[in-house]
Amino acid sequence: MANAGCGTDCEEQHVKIRPKILIADDSMMNRELLSEILGDEYVYLYAENGVQALEVLEQNLDVDLLLLDINMPVMDGFGVLDVMKRRHWIEELPVIIISAEDDAGFIQKGYDLGATDYINRPFNFMVVQRRVSNTLMLYGRQKRLMQLIEEQVFEREKTNSTMVNILSHVIESRNNETGIHLLHVRTLTDLLLRQLIKMTDAYQLDESDISMITTLSALHDIGKIGVPVEILNKPGKLTPEEWEIMKSHSLIGDSLLQSAPVAQDDPLMRTAHEICRWHHERWDGRGYPDGIKGDEIPISAQVVAMADVYDALTSERCYKRSFSHEQAVRMINNGECGAFNPRLIACLNAVAPELETAMHQENAASFDYQQESKRLTTEVLEKGEVQQDDRAQRLLSIEKTEVSFFSEQCGGIQFEYDHWLNRVIYTDWSAEPAKRRKTLYLSESDDTGILSKEDWARLRGLIWNSTRNKPDVEMEVLISTEKGARWHRVRARSIWTTERLGYAGVVGQITDIHEEVLARGLQTIENQKSVEQVYEGMEELRKLFSLVRLVDPVSCKVLTLSEDGVLTETDECCFAIWNRGECCDNCSSSRALAAENWTSKLELQGTTLYFVLSHYLTVGSRPCILEIASQLDECFDTNGEPAVPGQAGTFLLNFYRDALTRAYSRMYLDNFLPNLEHADGVAIVDVDKFKQINDTYGHPVGDEALKNIAAVILSCIRDNDTLIRYGGDEFLLIFSQIGEEVFFRRLTQIRDAVRASRLPSHPELQLDISIGGVYRVFPLAEAIRQADVRMYESKNTKAKMREEHE
């Protein structure tokens, strides 16, 4: 891994004076040679490949120079330059290319991508030293300062404040308001503060105060996490008791912050306290919780309060309709909605003309960070204060602590996706601390971590359609957890670059909403009071689900309920529908009876998969179980597109089908292993030269080939045989009951059929597969292993024959 060269912490004095050089070269010899040649005038950081280099740069914003090798594993030097260019790092950080390539084109390409200079091998002592010191001279002190401010304060703040925003949003979502509320408050806070410093210097606010208050405005309502949802979302008027609970959110927010493990006396923390505790105070002293008045109320809280009120007035809430911009400004002026500092009212009136447009254009990204950092740089230079990086660091570390604190409060799984590195970092707060963080490079493997590949693709589609103005996306997915497949909600926000380059990445949160989904889908029944209503509810549910019935879990008989509320036991056994002769091993109904609650399971009928929910209820006075089953495949029409959106559709997510090939997914195998364990024939199918097809014709054609092959295989097998997409271009075939001879003949037929098939778009392309099959090998895992070995043998034989042929 990359490591800091010399002691960085113990010699802070020196670190400031000695420039920092990152050497990115996969050869240890070269790294040592270069640092040896350059001597101890510099501090060194090292990276062994391009991705590592970018990571070191990300974490060490004070690197002064990058010495970059071109030929490196994982990501080469050109890749690094490309990312640096897109992130605008190249404008601030000089790069010297190290090249053993005599090819002039190489060096030209490096220059084109923004490199400053190059060093040729063999290294010449004098040349290396001279080029490095010259380059560092050119990038002067002011430039460095500018870079420090821009990247440390603003770039980081942007990401962190987005994180703070999304976390607050998670809390706020309980409140049924849109996440845009936070952005509105943020924008308005910024506008008001800027107007305020134009009109008066009574409050001694500088640029960094403004940026701090603006960022922290997102936290004003965090205390609402302690207010019950019923009260937050109550459409009507609150009772006096409920109102007291609602009001407590400002104190709850304040004490939440107090329990944060950070220095409480820091300006940042102090401001956060002010905002959380006092954003409902009034200028006339009639606010809450403390009833302080006038400028006893910190200016941060005053401004956020006004922003909050303005946005509340102009938005629709569960208890009110929305007012127009003009109405809202007038109401605030007339004191119809709170009492404010006359200076702030003057500010509001001054910004009113631009306010409406600003609110519609704004979001986190339209805040011009580049412009901001220039402004701040000027301010710092004029004041002659140069210790600002201390402050930036502090701001940063406190924000980080804050982010992790709020994340912990929210629980669930967080993720950050970096578009350029194609990297996902998951943080699972339910895992033990050492296992919380998981980093994945999507280019290296097909593994997308927590989300299935299909869900990941769906999420990417949503993100792709998100815009600067509507950066938030949301979807519901089934995620396999230790407790089985559970419904989760994914909430994410795309992060946009300052340029119109598209999105830079995504931050998001994944929360378990399994209980919520169950409750939501079945509320109909839940609220029934009489037997007749149970009947009505069931009729309602039958519109959504293919199987809705009542079962007596003790006698295992199906019960019928007539329209007039008469419950009759039939002769039919509840397990008969799953083609079983006896009670199911995984009987969800008896579990539901024991738990007097909802339970769920997956069942297979023939080749069709069902998701079964069981709910305990009493009909009349008889305890019984309501069973609701939905076929997991029925939500897809012939094109493989979801046909039943919403409602039942959310239950029926096609979890076990591979979206591309329509074969079953690997997940299916994992969850249904017991059902397949005693299959007679097992075969592994691998597409020949698949990589070559991808490389020559491109991935869409590769996908088409896979799709075609899967379709051919499916047409050759029986309904009760199972085709599973086992890996990228590998399929697993499982034949439940089949004779040995038929089995092997079938495999030959499949291979011949694939060879005979043609891709409509590329009829010249000769498709071929290698198959390895085993008969009656148990257990299944061993059968798969042996089949895999045979498949490879057959593939190697073929390759050999081809070689000899050529």
Partner 1 sequence: MTLSEFYSKLGGNCAEVLKRIPSEQMLKKFVKMYQKDPSFSQLEEAVAQKDWQTAFRAAHTLKGVAQNLGLADLQRTASELTEALRGAKPLTQPELLDAVRISQKQIVDAMKELDA
Residues making contact with partner 1 (CB under 8 A): 26-30, 32-33, 36-37, 71-73, 100, 121-126
CB of 3 vs partner 1, minimal distance in Å: 17
CB of 27 vs partner 1, minimal distance in Å: 5
Which is closer to partner 1, CB of 482 or CB of 803?
803
Residue 174 burial (C-beta neighbours within 10 Å; 0-12, 13-18, 19+):
middle
Which is closer to partner 1, CB of 29 or CB of 756?
29
CB atoms within 10 A of CB 631: 15
Contact indicator for 62, 20 with CB cutoff of 8 Å? yes
Strand partners, 336: none
CB of 30 vs partner 1, minimal distance in Å: 6
**Closest by Cα among 115, 69, 54 to 418:** 54
| 732 SS3 class | strand
| 785 SS3 class | helix
Residue 93 burial (C-beta neighbours within 10 Å; 0-12, 13-18, 19+):
buried
CB of 25 vs partner 1, minimal distance in Å: 9
CB of 803 vs partner 1, minimal distance in Å: 11
Which is closer to partner 1, CB of 102 or CB of 265?
102
CB of 121 vs partner 1, minimal distance in Å: 5
CB of 80 vs partner 1, minimal distance in Å: 16
Strand partners, 414: 427, 509
CB of 77 vs partner 1, minimal distance in Å: 12
Which is closer to partner 1, CB of 122 or CB of 763?
122
Residues in the chain: 806
Which is closer to partner 1, CB of 25 or CB of 729?
25
CB of 792 vs partner 1, minimal distance in Å: 14
**Closest by Cα among 199, 463, 464 to 345:** 199
In the chain the first and final C-alpha atoms are separated, in Å, by: 45
* Encoded amino acid at 116, one letter: T
CB of 68 vs partner 1, minimal distance in Å: 14
Which is closer to partner 1, CB of 125 or CB of 464?
125
Report d(CA 172, CA 223) in Å as an integer.
10
**Closest by Cα among 313, 310, 392, 399 to 347:** 310
Using a CB cutoff of 8 Å and minimum separation of 24, what contacts does 774-781 make? 774/681, 774/682, 774/683, 775/680, 775/681, 775/740, 775/743, 775/744, 776/680, 776/681, 776/740, 777/682, 778/677, 778/678, 779/677, 780/673, 780/676, 780/677, 780/679, 780/682, 780/734
CB of 548 vs partner 1, minimal distance in Å: 57
Report d(CA 81, CA 761) in Å as an integer.
37
CB of 31 vs partner 1, minimal distance in Å: 11
CB of 806 vs partner 1, minimal distance in Å: 13
- The pairing of strands 503-512 and 20-24 is unpaired
Q: What is the DSSP string of 493-542?
A: EEEE-SSSS-EEEEEEEEEE-HHHHHHHHHHHHHT--SHHHHHHHHHHHH
Which is closer to partner 1, CB of 122 or CB of 646?
122
Which is closer to partner 1, CB of 51 or CB of 507?
51
**Closest by Cα among 664, 661, 660 to 633:** 664
- Per the structure block, which two tokens stand in for 346? 């003057």
| 129 SS3 class | helix
Which is closer to partner 1, CB of 69 or CB of 362?
69
CB of 71 vs partner 1, minimal distance in Å: 5
Which is closer to partner 1, CB of 52 or CB of 165?
52
Contact indicator for 200, 343 with CB cutoff of 8 Å? yes
Which is closer to partner 1, CB of 431 or CB of 799?
799
Instruction: Give whole-number Cα distances, 558 to 220, 465, 551, in Å.
Output: 54, 47, 5
CB of 36 vs partner 1, minimal distance in Å: 7
Residue 294: left (phi > 0), alpha (psi -120 to 50), or beta? left
CB of 39 vs partner 1, minimal distance in Å: 10
CB atoms within 10 A of CB 301: 25
Report d(CA 408, CA 509) in Å as an integer.
12
Which is closer to partner 1, CB of 8 or CB of 30?
30
Which is closer to partner 1, CB of 230 or CB of 803?
803
Which is closer to partner 1, CB of 31 or CB of 423?
31
Which is closer to partner 1, CB of 70 or CB of 492?
70
Which is closer to partner 1, CB of 109 or CB of 460?
109
Instruction: Give whole-number Cα distances, 529 to 493, 532, 534, in Å.
Output: 42, 8, 8
Using a CB cutoff of 8 Å and minimum separation of 24, what contacts does 312-319 make? 313/337, 314/359, 315/177, 315/178, 315/181, 315/184, 317/177, 318/176, 318/233, 318/234, 318/235, 319/234, 319/235, 319/236, 319/237
CB of 51 vs partner 1, minimal distance in Å: 15
Report d(CA 508, CA 417) in Å as an integer.
8
Q: Is the peptide bond before 94 cis (omega within 30 degrees of 0)?
A: no
Tokens 């999420």 identify what position? 459
Please provide residue 473's backbone torsions phi and psi, each rounded to the nearest 5 degrees: -130, 160
- Per the structure block, which two tokens stand in for 533? 């209503």
CB of 612 vs partner 1, minimal distance in Å: 48
| 437 SS3 class | strand
Which is closer to partner 1, CB of 26 or CB of 209?
26
Contact indicator for 327, 337 with CB cutoff of 8 Å? no
Which is closer to partner 1, CB of 133 or CB of 173?
133
